[in-house]
Structure 1
């Protein structure tokens, strides 16, 4: 089934009505949000490792229309499962997880990719500045870590260009603007539910929106590993599409009215 933007909007709007019931923080737990698409080979090990890490309290897996046993594996591992009826995209999966976090009163949320690229042991590093109110959003950088990360040339060049653009537009010294490893407080989470927030690749463009919304951003070192998927999102023609999509999304973010996050 085709993923028209109108269809995505309908389904994510429906999800918002389903999940957002109580917008006030009522718990002191941390929620890990795992967007997943056909992650049967890696998900069980990832969730088992995340469960052993502190301060992990609850894990929600957003199954983005998988055709394998992703949802079954997530449930067996004790995760909360939210399943899209069709594939809506990475950004839409993050939005679904965020809406769940907001409606259930979680004060913080961490994004952890289901393909095993992110290291669960770095969750504490991502959360610490947010929990201490040093910032509203942390972004995990593979380039600040002592562990070397091998990246394809086109994506490396794109990342460097995006980093320069983000720095020029926001003055935020980001080294890894395409990193999906992030932690957010409730104010930052609410940005993801606003009309016009990118629902496909909220990476460098999202950082511009963070800045325009007045959110404080901090980068922290994390470890990352190459994806083991046969057709990862950022390889082959996918990486060309991704680079152009992010460039276009940055332009849209600049042309949009500045986002306004209302107080709870």
Structure 2
């Protein structure tokens, strides 16, 4: 168990044009952390000035680099400042800094390396989530979970706490946009770090859905989640494509026999399609087997490297 009085806890807030809410978030976060950092990601308003006046340290990007870049900046700062636990929280007022003690408790008790604030694990948080957000979150979390070793309910939560031993895993270039949440948990899972979800509530009053439109944001993150599945779990990705191809073969054959009951053979055009999907399904199956084996080897190497870095 870690002694809270002997470790350094910091809150990092990636922010772009959040002058309306950043001050209160900083002041509320200071009650539960030794340091508060605001990464001003190319804001065109007074976000940086308000954050400074509220008592935060501020690091500014000259132009908007995206949330992933802001997180890397905060992690590099945390290493330099010898931070033991860093909490990421959104600067738009969606997250309650008062939940920080509950969020870091599993890390203090050495029950996990990463603690993720989950709206699905909090009755009030789930009840107050707008339906379109709930549906989108479920789809994106399901897609992200396919690339993980276990199910995650709230893959898009930006309210997270990390032990210092996990920092090196996220120092590489990451997704620049909102898909960074999915990538970070995939990287953590691949490195063998423990992670768990802790119930939190979120406020949506007066908030924009996102800087990007909700639909564009959702499809972008879904595409990135599927890319993560292909990279992290190629066996599952290509295996699913193989199963789908063979399903089309069976469907075409059944439909052909139903549509042409008096024919001994299927029409030539249909035979071409059946042959194509059989070959395609076989290729995807071969790729799933080969890449799955290679992926297991790479995961062992990655975990060994992370263990050496930790030592």
TM-score by length of 1: 0.80
Whether the 8 Å CA contact 1:115–1:227 is kept in 2: the answer is no
Partner of 2:204: 226
Matches of 1:198 and 1:150, distance apart in 2: 26
Question: Structure 1: which 5+ runs fail to align?
Answer: 1-26
Whether the 8 Å CA contact 2:141–2:154 is kept in 1: the answer is yes
TM-score by length of 2: 0.69
Matches of 2:202 and 2:186, distance apart in 1: 23
Whether the 8 Å CA contact 1:163–1:177 is kept in 2: the answer is yes
Structure 1 residue 131, shift from structure 2 partner: 1.8
Whether the 8 Å CA contact 2:27–2:55 is kept in 1: the answer is no
3-state SS of 1:63 partner = strand
Partner of 2:253: none
Instruction: Note the 1:80-229 alignment, pairs <5 A.
Output: 80-147=57-124, 148-153=127-132, 155-194=133-172, 196-200=173-177, 201-226=179-204, 228-229=206-207
Matches of 2:222 and 2:143, distance apart in 1: 14
Partner of 1:34: 13
Matches of 1:167 and 1:253, distance apart in 2: 13
Partner of 1:246: 224
Q: Does the C-alpha gap of structure 1 residues 253 and 76 become closer, same or farther in structure 2, counting only changes over 3 Å?
A: farther
Structure 1 residue 69, shift from structure 2 partner: 0.4
Structure 1 residue 244, shift from structure 2 partner: 3.6
Matches of 1:128 and 1:230, distance apart in 2: 31
Larger Rg: 2
Higher helix residue share? 2
Whether the 8 Å CA contact 2:170–2:187 is kept in 1: the answer is no
Structure 1 residue 229, shift from structure 2 partner: 4.5
RMSD: 2.3
Whether the 8 Å CA contact 2:16–2:40 is kept in 1: the answer is yes
Matches of 1:239 and 1:227, distance apart in 2: 20
Structure 1 residue 181, shift from structure 2 partner: 0.7
